[in-house]
Amino acid sequence: MAGTKEIKRRIKSVKSTKKITKAMELVAASKMKKAVSKAVASRAYANYSWDLLSGVSENIQDLKHPFFTENKKTDKVLYVIVTSNRGLCGGYNSQVLKRAITAFKKVDDKSQIDILVIGKKGDNSMRRLGMKVAASFTELPDIIDLSDITPISTLITSEYKLGNYKEVFAVYTEYISALSQRPKRKKLLPVSRFELKESIESVGDAKSKEILSLKIKKNQYIFEGDMNSLVESLAEKLIRMQIYQTLLESNASEQSSRMIAMKNAGDAASEMIDDLTLVFNKARQANITREISEISAGMASVS
């Protein structure tokens, strides 16, 4: 009977684990609904703001602002890597980090790369790899607001204006659906028309590509007064919006990945319970058969 007791203990343990994963799945589903709602709601504004920035960059001959010109005094590059603070979210973090590492391999001198990490998982991984972590933000709430990322955007824009970096990239996860998320690298600074062309080509729907391309071609901006002062204020606000959108996309992807991971864990627990129950029934049947045989043998020896 010791074997059956051990199996019963394991079944009880797996059932407890299943309850935990089910609760975590429900919590992640609730957070995912809010995160996806915010990400989708702000996409239109984020796309229009990026279009506006790229449209302004057409006047690069008249603009002397560093946001729209490449800094040739340094080769240093800043990578903004967005990960999660917690695990149990499937391959979400590993996909982002793999995308970042792929980008790092293209740089011969790794000392020219600075990392700004959002999330504890990315911070730990970058430090293990020996990369230079210039800043780390690990206390952001699950559902973020625009005001929460102001310190991040201020740090990025101020460091770029000072000429400390040649380029600034964001590596994050783009939310596509609850079952699909795509790791992506996006150039934040300097703003260029080429980056907008890439964003158009990444749109899957042909009609959306056509509309976006026509909209961009029609945009012509006329500035009155000090154009550089106006552009600086405008660019800082719109770049902040781009950073905010990357965090919203990443948050929606994280919660979706966690919900799917917990669902898969719950399904695996159910299968394990079924297998253990079958083993338990076979062991119990074997014990009963053995006891009957012992009783029969005892009766035969007495008679």
CATH of the domain at 86: 3.40.1380.10
Tokens, residue 111: 């000392």
How far is residue 160's CA from residue 239's CA, in Å, rounded to a whole number?
12
What's the structural domain count of the chain?
Answer: 1
Domain presence at residue 59:
yes
Distance of alpha carbon 222 from the chain centroid: 38
Domain presence at residue 290:
no
Domain presence at residue 4:
no
Domain presence at residue 289:
no
How far is residue 29's CA from residue 6's CA, in Å, rounded to a whole number?
35
Domain presence at residue 8:
no
pLDDT truncated to tens, each residue of the chain (303 aa)? 447 888 889 899 999 999 999 999 899 888 888 888 888 888 777 777 767 666 666 654 556 667 777 788 888 999 999 999 988 888 899 999 999 999 998 888 888 899 999 999 999 999 998 888 989 998 888 788 888 888 899 899 889 888 889 999 999 998 888 888 899 998 888 876 555 444 444 444 454 444 444 444 445 566 666 666 677 777 778 788 888 888 999 989 999 999 999 999 999 999 999 999 998 888 888 878 877 777 777 777 776
Q: Is the dihedral of CA 27, 28, 33, 38 positive or negative?
A: positive
- The pLDDT assigned to 83 comes to 93
Domain presence at residue 90:
yes
How far is residue 141's CA from residue 303's CA, in Å, rounded to a whole number?
79
- The pLDDT assigned to 82 comes to 93
Residue 165: partners with Cβ closer than 8 Å, 6 or more residues away: 71, 74, 76, 77, 78, 114, 159, 189
DSSP symbol at 78: E
Domain presence at residue 296:
no
The residue range of the domain holding 176 is 26-258
Domain presence at residue 86:
yes
Closest to 239 (Cα-Cα) out of 283, 188, 277: 188
Order of all β-strands in the sheet with 167-177? 132-137, 113-118, 77-82, 167-177, 180-189
